[in-house]
Structure 1
């Protein structure tokens, strides 16, 4: 039986009809990706599936007892919430039980009888399984302190906490809206593994093509008020789309041929047309109405004239930057050449955006110098779009960069004409920016950036919130762009196609340069990991696979001191002992005849020890990896 079935569902928001008469079902084994242009209704349809929004018409049937877990595009919390409050605020009765149990354990005034009763309920209802999932996911994402206020977290950390809440629940169906936004690549790959291994059905909205290709076995295309369902991953979807386009093109050629003949007839005088005017006019009307709608933007929409770039582009000399005593950039030097395309990758908070701001001149380094060439005109596409005036109209915003746009072939367009090429009709150009969706704002920000004819482009997460069609247009522009490009991105498909070298941040202020594509670098890292595992031997089985060192080796490492060698020798036995203690505690928790079941205080103490053991295993494992890597030099 299907988890959810939609029959002839329609939805209108404001004056915009998003989709009409949509029918499809979601099966238990399906991993579905929603794709389509910004504003097509992907997030709205996700909310209808979740029961957050009602359809205007049509029928939605859900399997009895269906449990759904959702991830919002922008997670929301209540004022004053800590991580713990956000995690356990749930409508899931089992999560509510775990929350109640954890609070009782933390309360010194809790009676043994209360703890024992909750312990029994946890065992009976499977609460310990949920608690273990929470603990495991938090540990894997290095979230240790649950008392940190949510409002102090970065966008990436907020997304991680929201993912833990979504994935830990015992659900039948996951609904995920832009799950990869604000995550670094390592966390995205972690999420891919979790979704594939979960065994749960899920529906997700994302513009990350690599992610779609990895985790989805069904693609649902939402466009022009309709929905089409394609079995297979994203690559197979593109192949079927191409076949469909070829068939459609053949039909359109035949339609145009017939239309030409019919229009010739229409031009003739009344006598020549005879007595069948009404019927033939109706046929002509049908042929005209049958023409496919125009695409949202032309394939060459981003093409504008390009400024000449001299031989000197950019020089970074021993540039350093710290925040609150923490170095995010240490003595980095580089000379950028004309035409270079550099991708920047690394953990969240490692300083990637800081480096772009230093290059753009929006902040100054603590030490070192940034030298820009005289002919350099920088175009900076930042994450926030903070420079956009929400009270400006679409046209005013574009005209603030240029009222007329020149092209390399000598032609010109007014700002109004240029906006029309991007699917902004003149009737829409007076609309205020504040009325636009996040994706529409990002696209408009991109339009304004490129019409200023920069010759050095700085992109900070350019594919966030932008639909796949606009990403393809941007990629087409960059293929013909003759200037230099530096891009921070977690979008592996974009990095693979648009960059030819990488700057890899390690999160400690160091940057390694790598010449080659993203996939070549990733393959090198995987081979390096395999080599390290082989050299460690059978004992490496104690080390969790997702904790293996991913940072590239940079030159000669400092050799181990005598004290560190002794520490390395002792770490594996310590980790083994902790793993045994962890197993024993888990067995005691799950055994109904355990002495812990009759002693509330002992049970609370055992749980506190269990959390300590988990933390020590992670801490000692990471230390062992660090020392073991250095011991090979």
Structure 2
């Protein structure tokens, strides 16, 4: 059994310690979800496992042939390559072999008489056979299609940031590995792609360690949870649901311990105030114990400080947005087609749909950042808008955190009417005094997103537009945001593919179906997705029935051209029926294998390929049988 042991992992940034002496083991078939507040060092730890020089100290023990594939939060792809070439540009042994073979093939086609070139070409052919690398191209196309990438010849430079990330994910998944390290793998994936990725990772032969904000994904994939907090890693067995149960039990135990320590502290404090002279050994020991207890309680109070959002909002009237006959195209694609809708006070609207259907553009139109081609969007007079965009805006990296926040909002009050300083606000969002004085460029990507969220909220909006708010926010921050939105007296429009977030926040859905079509649903997001799956299965069945009907029509159209069968055709027809029956049995068995969750990815792809070929052959045989049988 292959294992990877990490010990003594430490990282400092100047005076700030992210983590120290972190130790853990990754076993075969582990599915480890790495949790922690933004900025505690999750990505830094993952980076250090791949590039040890990134950390101050780390010791890694693993077999010599142990392979790690790493999906970074910000992938690095050659923008001059096509999608397919970019996938094969990875550093795995198979990718290198394929590139060598392609180069050798070009040489062989040009200089086929050269003995050295011949020898090198045939040697690489044998290596391709031995490595089973011929299947790789088919596998790449299949994975890219599942991830929503279909234009394989398109240049990487012409892809959106989300599409580039999906190409990088395909590159990470396709080559052999003992361990997959994935930093936010569900970012920029729609539900279908996330659902497929869940199944893929559960069937993956090796181990997986991943950071994600998607709690449903975490619950379905993880069988261990690592939580990075207080500069160390705490391990929990089981999925996210079991983690929450264990965490709650631990917190209850800690609360009891803290209560006991507090009572001891009070007694010791009474003793100290009584003025007992500490001249003897016992008295000095008691003073030392008092000081230790005082320090311990002080540390615990700092550690257990809870993040909260307590910011007052302005009054909102009944009218928020009135959309009349709106039409909008973007890059020659219909985003909104003759759409009318009324958004009222208190609405909680989840906006979802496939990637590229125009959800973000719709929010930009609502915010007045993109003009409609025709129609109107009327904004209520009392609307105070807060727009949390996908990408952090207007954040000067050379500013200090506290100065940035002071420049955005002054005279901010909480719900009790108390004035809050920028420092107090930052405290509530887990920015300690050291971080408040740091430059923004020194923050992690997640910390910047948390600061950006706070910057939006301190303007005291009564209408919130949230574009993929779960991307790059840690689970604790998301939970606090969700709780805040439950009590928010204004209106919320949130674009998201995060099932957990939408199930908790959205009261209704606007589904972007593409080509400008938008439909409303009062179902939960999970309920809507289940209904869509049922309809997809029904459509698949209807497609099969239509094929049969089309074949029958073709038979009728061709009936006038022929009146009877030749002897050879009679023999062919006689053999067709048992061939079709045998093939139907084979297709049923293959369908069962494709739907069997116990099969690994390699087997699944092989069975799917066989099933596609069998279905194609079955259609051909059935079409031939229907044609011949009309003349009997």
Q: What TM-score range do you get, normalising by the shorter chain?
A: 0.7 to 0.9
Three-state SS of the structure 2 residue aligned to 1:400 is helix
Q: Which residue of 2 aligns with 1:33?
A: 33
Q: What's the secondary structure of 1:261's corresponding residue?
A: helix
Are 1:255 and 2:285 counterparts? no
Shift in CA distance, 407/10, structure 1 to aligned 2, threshold 3 Å = closer
Q: Give the RMSD, CA atoms, in angstroms.
A: 3.3
- Which of the pair has more CA radius of gyration? 2
* Aligned equivalent of 2:179, options 168, 173, 196: 173
Q: Equivalents in 2 of 1:297, 1:304: separation in Å?
A: 21
Contact 1:345 1:504 in 2 (8 A): yes
Residue 64 of structure 1 and its aligned partner are, at CA, apart by 2.8
CA change 1:60–1:264 in 2 (3 A) is same
Partner of 1:555: none
Q: Distance in 2 between matches of 1:524 and 1:106?
A: 50
* Match of residue 286 from structure 1: 292
- Aligned with residue 158 of structure 2, among 117, 129, 152: 152
Corresponding position of 1:606 = none
Paired position in structure 1 for 2:125: 119
User: How many Å apart are 1:216 and its aligned residue?
Assistant: 0.8
Moved more, 236-245 or 104-113: 104-113
Q: Distance in 1 between matches of 2:2 and 2:382?
A: 61
1:357-398 Cα offsets, whole Å, 9 max, x none, are: 010111111111100111111110001122223333322322
After superposition, the C-alpha distances for 1:499-536 in whole angstroms (9 at most, x for unaligned) are: 11111112322111101211221222233334445656
The C-alpha deviation readout for 1:544-572, integer Å capped at 9, x for no partner, is xxxxxxxxxxxxxxxx9x999879x99xx
Residue in 1 that maps onto 2:232: 226
Rate the CA distance shift 1:197–1:264 in 2: closer, same or farther, 3 A. Answer: same
User: What does the per-residue CA deviation read over 1:572-628, in whole Å, with 9 as the maximum and x for residues that have no partner?
Assistant: xxxx99xx9xx9xxxxxxxxxxxxxxxxxxxxxxxxxx9xx99x98xx9xxxxxxxx
Match of 1:185 in 2: 191
Cα distance between partner residues in 1 of 2:302 and 2:97: 52
Structure 2 residue runs without a partner (length 5+): 559-578, 587-608, 620-632
Paired residue total: 561
- Summarize deviations over 1:206-242 as a string: whole Å, max 9, x none: 1221111111111111111111111100110010000
Alignment of 1:195-210 (within 5 A): 195-210=201-216
Do the aligned partners of residues 265 and 296 (structure 1) sit closer, same or farther apart at CA in structure 2, a change above 3 Å counting? closer
3-state SS in 1 of match to 2:208? strand
Q: Select which of 457, 468, 484 maps to 2:464.
A: 457
Query: For residues 469 and 134 of structure 1, do their structure 2 counterparts lie closer, same or farther at Cα, with a shift above 3 Å needed?
Result: same
2:455 to 437, 448, 452: 448
What is residue 424 of structure 2 aligned with on the other side?
417
Q: Is the 8 A contact 2:146 2:193 kept in 1?
A: no
Per-residue CA distance 1:10-37 (angstroms, 9 max, x = gap) = 3323332222222210001111110001
2 CA distance for matches of 1:90 and 1:238?
37
Correspondence for 2:595: none
Quickly say closer, same or farther: Cα 1:513–1:115, change in 2 above 3 A: farther
CA distance in 2, matches of 1:308, 1:267: 51
**Structure 1: runs of 5 or more not aligned:** 543-559, 571-575, 584-609, 621-633
| Aligned position for 1:476 | 483
**1:56 and 1:181 mapped to 2: Cα distance?**
29
Partner of 1:595: none
Greater mean deviation of Cα atoms: 78-87 or 488-497:
78-87
For residues 296 and 324 of structure 1, do their structure 2 counterparts lie closer, same or farther at Cα, with a shift above 3 Å needed?
Answer: farther
Aligned to 1:587: none
Whole-angstrom CA distance in 1 between matches of 2:404 and 2:71? 33
Match of 1:546 in 2: none
SS at match of 1:418: helix
